[in-house]
Structures are given as C-alpha cells and as structure tokens.
C-alpha cells in the first residue's frame, strides 16, 4: 500500500515538472496588427512628414472708407394742418387728396356774408374821420380850437383806420391758402360745412427736400459731423445720398443714441415719407482687403477670422472686422498689408501647422 502511494507521488512530480518546463521555455505569441491599424499608422507618419497642400492668394491692402451702418427712415421736412382763422361757411374747396399745391394757393374759401358791407362801412367811417381831423386842424390855425379837440379828432381817425384794417384782414382770411409748396395729404372740410376758427381745411406735407432720420450710437457719434455726405439704401434697392444737416446734442435716455438727419433732394417727388432705409455714414479711412465670406472662421470669442500663412509657410489666424460689402465679396480690416490668404483647404489646417502652399497669383513658388 505504501508502494502505491510512492508511485502516485512520483508520477505527479513528473507531470508537474513537464508542465513547468513548457511554460518556462515557451516564447511570447506574436500579435499581428490589423490592416486598418497599419493604414492609420502610415497616415500619421505621412502627416508628420508631408505638409498639407493648400491654395493661397496674395492680397494687398487698399484704402477703403469705413461706414457706420444704422437703420432709419425717410421723413418729410414739414407737415402743416392748414386751419381756418375765422368762422364761416365753406363755399369752395379747390383741392383733393394727393394734389400738388404751390405756396399761397387757395385751398378752401369761406363765404363773405356781411364782410364786404362791413368793409364799405369802415371805409366811409375813415373818410368822415379824416374830414373831421382836417377841419379841427383848420379851426386850430384860426384860434378857434384847442389841443384837446385836435387830439380827440386824431384818435377817432386812428380808431377808424384800425377797424378798416381788421375788416380787410377778415376778408383776406376767408381764403385759406397753402403756406408752402407741397402735397395735400388729407382734406378735412366739405362744401357747405360751417366751421369755427381753428378748424383744419387740409393737411399739406413738404416732400422736397426729403430727410433721412436715424440714431447713431455714442461710440460713433464723435465721428459724425454736419456737412459729411452720407448715403442711404431704400427697401426697394434705390440708393440716395446727401449732406448731414443735423446731429443731436442729447442722447436718448433709454438707447443712449443720438439723432441724425440727412437731407436728400426730392425734386422729382419720387421719395415718400416713412420708408425704411439703411443709412451709411462714412466715419474713417482704413486699409482693407476684399475676401469671400466663405473664408471666415470663428475665433474663441465668436468673432470672424481668416487663416493666412507666414513667410515660413506656417498657418496663422487673424481676427478681422467687416468694413463694407460688395456683390462679389466683403472688405475686412485687421490683416497685414500684404497677406497670403488660404483660399482652399483652410478647413484642413490649424494655426501653427506647416503647409505646402500653391499660389494662385504669384509667379514665384518659394519665398
């Protein structure tokens, strides 16, 4: 029985020794990388050795006017509600809405009633007062009249003359006239109406010159001066321009902006009041380059920027400011005077990376 145990132990020792000899002498298995991993590694190696090829255009800065752009509207210079100055019945209204009127043209006419008779009466009273005054002077010259009598006759003559003036003025006021040349915007009296003093006959608007009004921020108001020629773009695309005739001295309490008025010639009466207008006010001259908006990238603060290359073909990034817009691009400032702008491939590179530039408008290949 003891011999059986001995043989069992001996066999176990031999088996264990054989197993241990295989573990110690075995080599580590060779792990072959997959095809995708090999391609990725090769691409990384190539990216480190071969710069990305990009297309580059050289841009030279030119002088450009920077405009302050604000929203505004057209506004007629004057609007007057032409009113009756005396009471009476309307016997004539010679204008309708939309009519063009000249300065002094009759708009509405009141009935004369007894005003003509009152005028004749006033004239006769003046004639009588003049005769009495002359008679009093003759009597004084002969010594039959006193200074007091002369003063009384003179006062009566002055009173009758004042009455005559009032009667003549009342007759003039029966015709309600346009204060200036313009357009009739509305009529308020009809034939046969009896109106009191202060009633409106018609509303007349002066359309020439036309004003463009807007408000400028406190940041730019110091650059805005009267006499500067500013422009405007109407909602229908028409462009107008004229001098700045007014710059406000007090800001709005809520918006902190200042009123600005631009005077526009409207002799053909093609402009209407109240049309929304984009106002362009020149504020300074800057050096700028024209680029395509498709080249814009965003910087960390959300501003617009452009990717360039320097003389060592290293990608750089410049934040720019929009100056003006054209149909085929935008003008920006903030770039070097001579800038090599990446026009194709800018989305594939980052600042600090070396690239292989292909110039579109330069004859030499290397700097």
All structural domains of the chain, each given as residue ranges with its CATH number in brackets, are: 52-64+286-359 (2.40.420.20), 68-76+205-285 (2.40.30.170), 112-173 (1.10.287)
In terms of Cβ atoms closer than 10 Å to its own Cβ (0-12, 13-18, 19+), residue 97 is: exposed
The count of C-alpha atoms lying within 13 angstroms of the C-alpha of 307, restricted to the half-sphere facing its C-beta, is 26
pLDDT in tens, 12-56: 777 777 666 655 454 544 445 455 555 554 455 445 557 888 899
Overall average pLDDT of the 71-98 stretch: 91
Q: What per-residue confidence (pLDDT) applies to 45? A: 40
Q: Which of 1-10, 95-104, 248-257 has the lowest mean pLDDT?
A: 1-10
CB 335 within 8 A of CB 286: no
pLDDT in tens, 272-319: 999 999 999 988 888 889 988 888 888 777 778 899 989 889 999 998
Overall average pLDDT of the 251-257 stretch: 88
CB 240 within 8 A of CB 74: no
Residue 118 burial (CB count, 10 A): 18
Residues of the chain above pLDDT 90, percent: 32
Overall average pLDDT of the 102-128 stretch: 87
Chain mean pLDDT for the chain: 83
Q: What per-residue confidence (pLDDT) applies to 364? A: 40
Q: What per-residue confidence (pLDDT) applies to 150? A: 77
The model's pTM: 0.62
The C-alpha atoms of residue 127 and residue 129 are separated, in whole angstroms, by 5
Overall average pLDDT of the 175-180 stretch: 92
Q: What per-residue confidence (pLDDT) applies to 29? A: 46
Backbone Cα Rg of the chain: 47
The C-alpha atoms of residue 240 and residue 264 are separated, in whole angstroms, by 7
Higher pLDDT, 153 or 97: 97
Q: Answer yes or no: is pLDDT of 161 > 80.
A: yes
pLDDT in tens, 316-366: 999 888 887 778 888 888 899 999 999 888 888 888 899 988 888 764 434
């Amino acid at each position: 029985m003891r011999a059986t145990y001995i043989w069992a132990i001996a066999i176990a020792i031999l088996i264990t020794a054989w197993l241990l000899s295989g573990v110690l002498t075995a080599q580590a298995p060779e792990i072959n990388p997959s095809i995708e991993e090999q391609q990725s590694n090769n691409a990384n190696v190539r990216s480190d050795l071969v710069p990305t090829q990009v297309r580059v255009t050289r841009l030279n800065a030119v002088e450009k006017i920077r405009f302050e752009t604000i929203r505004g509207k057209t506004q007629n210079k004057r609007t007057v509600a032409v009113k009756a100055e005396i009471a009476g019945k309307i016997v004539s209204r010679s204008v309708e809405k939309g009519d063009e009127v000249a300065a002094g043209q009759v708009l509405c006419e009141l009935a004369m009633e007894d005003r003509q008779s009152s005028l004749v009466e006033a004239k006769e009273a003046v004639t009588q007062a003049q005769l009495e005054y002359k008679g009093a002077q003759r009597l004084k010259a002969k010594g039959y009249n006193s200074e007091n009598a002369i003063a009384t006759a003179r006062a009566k003559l002055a009173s009758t003359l004042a009455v005559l003036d009032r009667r003549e003025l009342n007759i003039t006021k029966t015709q309600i006239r346009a204060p200036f040349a313009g357009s009739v915007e509305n009529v308020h009296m009809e034939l046969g109406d009896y109106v009191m003093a202060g009633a409106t006959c018609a509303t007349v608007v002066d359309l020439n010159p036309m004003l463009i009004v807007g408000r400028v921020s406190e940041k730019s108001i110091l650059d805005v001066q009267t006499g500067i020629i500013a422009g405007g773009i109407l909602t229908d695309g028409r462009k107008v321009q004229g001098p700045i005739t007014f710059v406000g001295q007090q800001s709005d309490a809520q918006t902190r902006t200042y009123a600005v008025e631009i005077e526009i010639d409207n002799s053909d009466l093609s402009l209407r009041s109240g049309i929304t207008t984009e106002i362009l006010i020149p504020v300074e001259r800057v050096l700028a380059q024209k680029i395509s908006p498709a080249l814009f990238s965003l910087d960390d603060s959300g501003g617009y920027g452009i990717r360039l290359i320097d003389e060592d073909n290293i990608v750089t990034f410049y934040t720019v400011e929009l100056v003006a817009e054209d149909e085929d691009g935008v003008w920006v400032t903030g770039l070097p005077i001579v800038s090599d702008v990446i026009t194709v491939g800018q989305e594939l590179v980052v600042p600090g990376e070396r690239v292989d530039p292909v110039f579109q408008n330069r004859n030499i290949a290397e700097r």
